[in-house]
A and B are shown apart, each in its own frame.
Chain A
Amino acid sequence: EAGVTQFPSHSVIEKGQTVTLRCDPISGHDNLYWYRRVMGKEIKFLLHFVKESKQDESGMPNNRFLAERTGGTYSTLKVQPAELEDSGVYFCASSQDQGARAFFGQGTRLTVV
């Protein structure tokens, strides 16, 4: 069974540009989460989808970030326009129910220069 996959694995963009990250959760997992780890700091929650609906987006830093999950399958996280402080590793996770175990992808390392 395939795990959570994220694309791209790395992205380097200039300040002001737009970047779109993609996450494919494990098939059948209704719950999808986005997290971010900024250099040297803890992994922080961004938002949670249940199927195609946003259950909790309390961690989204500002309106430059837009997450979607069309059809309740894969999800995208768009950053527009990117700022230097957006650099970090963006993780996606999925779970079958709202229980304890979440499966994480390998992350997208975003560098804004």
Chain B
Amino acid sequence: GQSLEQPSEVTAVEGAIVQINCTYQTSGFYGLSWYQQHDGGAPTFLSYNALDGLEETGRFSSFLSRSDSYGYLLLQELQMKDSASYFCAVNAGGGNKLTFGTGTQLKVEL
């Protein structure tokens, strides 16, 4: 089977840095994606890592260690609008079928 684990909730203050971890167990692995979802909205693609290392896109960065089956999403200079659910998702096989984690609810406070 396949499983992904991430914290259920994270709280941080505006302007801070927060890291959301994701560990996975899958029978295959092509890459790790991160999606953001605001209440009632569509999951929105944030980043993708196929190889080990750090990918940076503006205030968001994502890291992957394939040997540790581990990745994280780093959000810098937090803003109130970053309050949302964040999902890690593994592409474990052909066809870009995604297996999602249960999501991390991020609350940004003043």
Contact = CB atoms under 8 A, between A and B. Distances in A.
B42 A107 contact: yes
Interface stretch (B11-19, B75-83, B87-95): B87-95
- Interface magnitude class on chain B: 20 to 34
B20 to A, nearest CB: 15
Interface residues of A, number: 28
Interface in B1-15: 4
B99 A100 contact: no
Contacts of A48: 95-97
Interface string A80-100: 000000000001010100111
A98 B42 contact: no
Given A43-B43, A43-B87, A99 B96 contact: yes
Interface of B: 4, 31, 33, 35, 40-45, 48, 50, 87, 89, 91, 94-103
Interface of A: 3-4, 31, 33, 35, 41-45, 48, 50, 55-56, 59, 91, 93, 95, 98-107
